[in-house]
Amino acid sequence: MGIITASLIHDPIIASGVGVSLAIAAMSLTRCLHPPGGAAALTAVLGGPVVAGWGLLFPFVPVGLNSCILVALGLLFHKLARRNYPHIAAKAPVNAHQTSDLPASLRVGFHEEDIDAALAAFDETFDIARDDLGRLLQQVQLQATIRAHGNIRCADIMSHDVIAIDADADPAEARELLLKHNIRTLPVKDENGRLAGTVGLRELSRPADRVGDILSKAATASDSDPAFSLLPALTDGHAHAAIVIDGECRILGLISQTDLLSAAARALPTSRAKQ
């Protein structure tokens, strides 16, 4: 952008302003606004014979190559820091039961129109997508709930006498245990007694010779975790229980949706009748 501008406008001051403005406009239209993009356009205008010598290759070799190096370093840094990079927009929550109702996690609290109204009230442009902002605010609500009730730990509400089954067991045995004990999630242990996954009637509807062939990934927690940190896992429409494990993945207990609901009911403030 800067090379084309410099070739059309001979005054370097005007060329600088026009080049940077066009670069910012192009980045804004493509939703990739990045301050160094304006600096690259300014370099192209003021670079003199060095930049002119590169010609139309300037955006690809010095600028493009350096950008690739920076992205590679960013990937390496975030991998070492165990953080996601680059940012990938999360999929919108969907109703796991395939009905027209909103997912359970979105039926209370703020809605999309509340975010739109808040952004309109600021009358500013923020460098964050509305969906990402909504996810951030939901996480803020969750963390506030956990902080308010952090004294309730998983060990306080979990069931200790956990009905489990071995991975080599027959699926018919697993089905019998689910029905006999009126439970929806059955932890499965491997040959070393460690948690391998879970099965329910949904998994048992698939043909298999052994329980270990139809496992689902288990929602897990440690006994010292705040109980309310399980809210996302137990309200996503998939998991009906979380397995409490120790550092060696051995089963310590189980927390069902009913256990968490009972804890939430006890945590609610008691209202007093008006005098």
Residues 138 and 183 in one domain: no
Q: Give the model confidence (pLDDT) of 200-253 as tens digits.
A: 999 999 999 999 999 999 999 999 999 999 999 998 888 999 999 999 999 999
Q: Is the pTM of this model over 0.75?
A: no
| Within a domain: 173 | yes
Give the whole-angstrom CA distance, residue 253 versus residue 242.
Answer: 9
User: How far is CA 42 from its chain centroid?
Assistant: 38
Question: Is the predicted pLDDT of residue 76 greater than 70, yes or no?
Answer: yes
| Within a domain: 64 | yes
The residue whose two tokens read 């009748």 is: 273
Domain final residue, candidates 115, 133, 148: 148
| Within a domain: 270 | no
| Within a domain: 96 | no
| Within a domain: 216 | yes
Domain final residue, candidates 148, 165, 200: 148
Residues in contact with 152: Cβ distance below 8 Å, sequence separation at least 6, in sequence order: 226, 227, 228, 263, 267
Residues 219 and 259 in one domain: yes
Q: What angle do CA 115, 121, 123 make, to 5 degrees?
A: 105
Residues 158 and 138 in one domain: no
Of the pLDDT bands very low, low, confident and very high (cuts 50, 70, 90), residue 85 is: confident
Give the whole-angstrom CA distance, residue 230 versus residue 146.
Answer: 10
Give the whole-angstrom CA distance, residue 249 versus residue 240.
Answer: 19
Query: Higher confidence at residue 185 or residue 97?
Result: 185
Domain of 207, CATH number, reads: 3.10.580.10
Q: pLDDT at position 154, please?
A: 97
Residues 6 and 67 in one domain: yes
Domains: count for the chain:
3
Q: What is the helix (H) or strand (E) element at residue 166, kind and residue range?
A: strand 165-166
Task: For residue 254, list its beta bridge partners.
Answer: 159, 243
Domain that holds residue 22: 2-80
For residue 58, which of 16, 9, 6, 22 has the smallest C-alpha distance?
6
State which amino acid sits at residue 13: I
| Within a domain: 274 | no
Residues 75 and 166 in one domain: no
Q: What angle do CA 109, 113, 118 make, to 5 degrees?
A: 90
| Within a domain: 92 | no
User: How far is CA 77 from its chain centroid?
Assistant: 20
